[in-house]
Structure formats: structure tokens, C-alpha cells
Amino acid sequence: MNTAVKIVSLLLGVMLVALAVMSAGCNTKIPVASESSAHASTESFEDTQSTDGAESTDSTEGEENSSNNTDESTSPEQSTSSEDVSSEESEDSGSEASEESSEDVIVDPSEGTGDNSPYGDDYYTYTTDISKFYEAIVLPDSPDKFLVLVNKENKLGRNDVPENLVDCVNTRDDGRDTQKLVYEAELALQAFLNEARAFGFDDVSVTSAYRSYYTQDYLFDKYVENELHKFDTREEAEEYVSTYSSRPGTSEHQTGLCVDMHNLSSASQSFGSTDAAKWLEENAYKFGFILRYPKDKEDVTEIMWEPWHFRFVGRYHATRIHELGLCLEEYIETYYPEQIQD
């Protein structure tokens, strides 16, 4: 009898131990990624923002036959950082992050220039080999070197002459004087027009580049004389002429950084409707150039739309200006106000 009781007691003890173990097993949790870890794996995006109109006048049309055969009317960063989503639990949030990362992030143009630019070489595509022009286009050591504003309020002196002026090899071969450009601008222009020729635009040539203060003075005075008969006073004629020809000291041509180029007999806004002009405007930034006087910025530049007038600023700034849809005045006033004269 005693033996039977002991056996029953032993069996009851075993059963109680088993029940305790099973109860403990039910309270065990499967390890999962913490909420903070899941959020960290789906973060894919950081906003780092910091951030010439009417048809050309007759005087403009015929200006290529004037002194020095010049045309007148002188006148970026899609930075998305995306991290791979590594957890299946964060699949939905990862999808949302992926959509967000496809949006443009405006990066403060005053930061990340040169080698640190978020616009790496992979951002640009070229059909032609630009290797020997690369440093002139990119300006890796001094990307802000040519970020200069010249207009009616920001003037050059009569004795301001740019350094390193060289012959422009793409000067129109019609008997005019060989035009001059600052060295880096000339090399970048060679690459630009090489690319244009690769796309079939082989008839675009430079009709005007560097002009001295004195040449600009002569041209402006000539146009005023031509327009005088339309106005009561000389001041009125000068004001009208200033919409298509810059007064001396206010012309970009004096910097040696801009060119007038087209495939017409003389500069005309009709050039803007050609395939060549459209291609030049759309691709200029890749070579460090901007269309200086856009059609929709006449109220800002105070110069009529000039689809033939391109200005060199270097690839980084040209890309930013192109992507932000700004003219040079707006860009410098927003990001580089120290460049503006008091």
C-alpha cells in the first residue's frame, strides 16, 4: 500500500513539473527588430537644402557688319541618397522611402563644389571625348572663378582686360577678325561645339566674343545714332538701345567669358526656333555654359532674349542655374550676394 502511494505521488510530481515547463514555454517571445531599428533601415532621404523678348531690331540684325564684325545685343543638384532596405518587416515603409528618394533635393550651391560636388562625372553623358577639355569645363581647383556678374548695376572699368585671352578656333570664317576668349572658356567651347557637331549641328560658329570697353563704346554710340530719328531726345534713344546693346562697362563681352554664336547671316531671335539653338540651350550646362539672356527673364536681365548669347561659368554653376531655372542675376543674388556691387 505504501509503495503504491509513493508511486502515485511520484507520478503527480512529474506531471506538475511538466506543466510548469509548458507554461514557461508559452511565455517565450520570438526576437524581432526593435522599432527604432526598423525605422533606421528605411530612412532613405535627407533634404540638404540650405540653401533678350521682341524680334531683333534692324540695328541688331545688321551688326555683324559693324566694327570687329561683332554681333550685338550683348548682352544643379539632384542629390538623392537612398539606403537599401534590409528588413522584410520594413518593406512597406521602404517602398515609400524609395518613391520619396526619386524627388529632387536642392543642394545649397555654395557648398559641395569641385571634387565634393554632388554632381559627379557619372551625372553627365557625352558623345565625344572631353578628356583634354575636362579641367577647363569642371574647374576642379577653383569652381567659382568665373562666377562674375556684369550688368547695368555691376560695371567694369575702361581698363579692365581679362587675363589669358586666346584665339577662338570656332570664329566664323568669313573674313572677320579672329575672336578672343579667356583660355578656360575657349577650351570648354571647343568641347561644346565638338559635341554639337556630333549631333549634326555643324554650322554653328562664333561671330563675337571678347570686346574691349572702347569697342563697346563705339558700338553703343553707333546704335544710338541709328535710332535717334525715332525719339525726341538722345536719352530716350539710349534707353531703347540699351535693351539690345550694353553700354560700355556693362557688357559681358568685356569679361572674355561669353560668345555670340549661331548659324544665321546675322544675329536674330529667329535662331531661337531652330533645332540647333534648342540643342545648344539644353546641353550648354554640360560644358559650363548658360544661355545668358533667356526668353522668360527679360524683366530681370533688362536685356531682350538672345538665343545666340552663351556665357561660361563652369560646369557646377551652369548645372545649378540650368536645373533651378534661374538667370545669372537671380542665381548670384540668391546664393552669392557678395558678388553684387553696392
Catalytic residue among 306, 329, 330, 338: 306
Give the residue from 105, 113, 124 showing the smallest Cα distance to 44: 105
Q: Which residues are 312's β-sheet partners?
A: 289
Residues 6+ apart with CB under 8 A from 338: none
Alpha-carbon gap, residue 289 to 138, rounded angstroms: 11
- Contact indicator for 204, 278 with CB cutoff of 8 Å: no
C-alpha dihedral sign at 166, 172, 175, 176: negative
Alpha-carbon gap, residue 10 to 225, rounded angstroms: 124
Coil/strand/helix, residue 40: helix
Give the residue from 90, 113, 253, 89 showing the smallest Cα distance to 185: 253
Coil/strand/helix, residue 287: helix
| 91 tagged catalytic | no
Alpha-carbon gap, residue 109 to 214, rounded angstroms: 35
The helix, strand and coil proportions of the chain, stated in percent and rounded to the nearest 5, come to 50, 5, 45
The Cα diameter of the chain in Å comes to 140
- Catalytically active residues are 306
